[in-house]
Amino acid sequence: MLTDSTRTQDGNQRALIDVIDVKKSYVTNLVTTPVLHGVNFSMQRGEFVAIMGQSGSGKSTLMNILGCLDTPSGGDYLLDGKQVSALSRAQLAVLRNKTIGFVFQSFNLLKRMTIQDNVALPLIYAGVSRAEARRRASQQLENVGLGEYGQRQPNQLSGGQQQRVAIARALVADPPLVLADEPTGNLDTKTSVEIMSLLTRLNREAKQSIILVTHEPDIAAYASRLVRLKDGLVLYDGPAATGLQQMRSEQSEQELGMPANEVSE
């Protein structure tokens, strides 16, 4: 998937994602609610980024824009060097199909369809023949450790297994970017660890670029970089370890009743 030009190191490398002063507001009943106030953020290939922030801080809103499912109200979003706002709905669909794999909190597998066909679907939309799509789907299911479950229906699988199927589906078309919005939000701790180990392995071994949204510091700790959002702005962007350390100290300060230093930030 990686071309030579993108593999070159340092500054002249083309970023996978470039978010420049992106704004987003929702309009409901003539009331405009600004959610993102100008987010700046860029990401290289092979990075594993965790996005954190309080509920309502705009994480999902940002993820929807990054996933080309929604359009920003202002600013620029470049995915793989392409200006996304210039594309038609059909072109966006093709871009999502080729460039992005989605993993959702609620798994979002299609009912009444076998696991194998679920995983094969992105390839079907890409115009790959059914036999070839099924072959590659089976391969991908092996990869996530579910090789024997291909002929089952989604509701015959546990939550953790369904999420692994969703990851297989996200990876099947070999996209440069995987977006996961709270992928462990519906799972218990043990299963969450399994899912995170799988994502980490993908990032380490296949240099898979991943953006992950989570509320849990333990989950964010699997990532190498952390982006914290607060009220529609980037509060922290840097190494995950440092960022998480900072969060912990903020929290203990709050628990000890010390004056919060958020205001100064």
| One of 3, 9, 12, 28 touching ligand ATP (CB under 6 A) | 28
The residue (of 56 and 74) whose beta carbon lies closer to ligand ATP is 56
CA separation for the pair 49, 238 (Å, rounded): 9
- Residue list 27-66, contact with Mg ion (CB under 5 A): 60
35 near other proteins, judged by CB under 8 A: no
* Contacting residue, 15, 25, 104, 233, with other proteins by CB under 8 A: 104
- In the complex with other proteins, the residue whose CB is nearer, 31 or 90, is 90
Provide, rounded to whole angstroms, the least separation between the CB of residue 33 and Mg ion: 15
Q: Which does 26 bind (CB under 5 to 8 A by kind): ligand ATP, Mg ion, other proteins, none?
A: ligand ATP
Nearer to other proteins, 120 or 202 (CB): 120
Q: How many residues bind other proteins (CB under 8 A)?
A: 28
* Cα separation, 49 vs 31, whole angstroms: 33
Instruction: Name the residue among 106, 105, 99, 112 with its Cα closest to residue 170.
Output: 99
Q: Among Mg ion, ligand ATP, other proteins, none, what does residue 176 contact (CB within 5–8 Å per kind)?
A: none
Q: Please state, in angstroms and rounded to a whole number, the distance separating the CA atoms of residues 137 and 131.
A: 10
Position 8: which residue type? T
The site map against other proteins for 162-181 (x = CB under 8 A) is -------x---x--------
Angle between helices 115-125 and 130-143 (to 10 degrees): 120
**Cα four-point dihedral sign 16, 119, 113, 164:** negative
Closest-CA residue to 180 (of 58, 56, 50): 50
Of 124 and 233, CB closest to ligand ATP: 233
d(CA 15, CA 34): 27
Provide the minimum distance between the beta carbon of 126 and other proteins in the complex, in angstroms, as a whole number: 6
- Which residues, other chains included, contact 165 with Cβ-Cβ below 8 Å and sequence gap of 6+? 107, 109, 115, 118, 119, 141, 144, 146, 149, 154, 157
Burial of 154 (0-12, 13-18, 19+ CB in 10 A): buried
The contact set with Mg ion (CB under 5 A) reads 60
The contact set with ligand ATP (CB under 6 A) reads 26, 28, 33, 35, 53, 55-61
The contact set with other proteins (CB under 8 A) reads 64, 67, 69-70, 89-90, 93-94, 96-98, 102, 104, 108, 110-113, 121-122, 124-127, 129-130, 169, 173
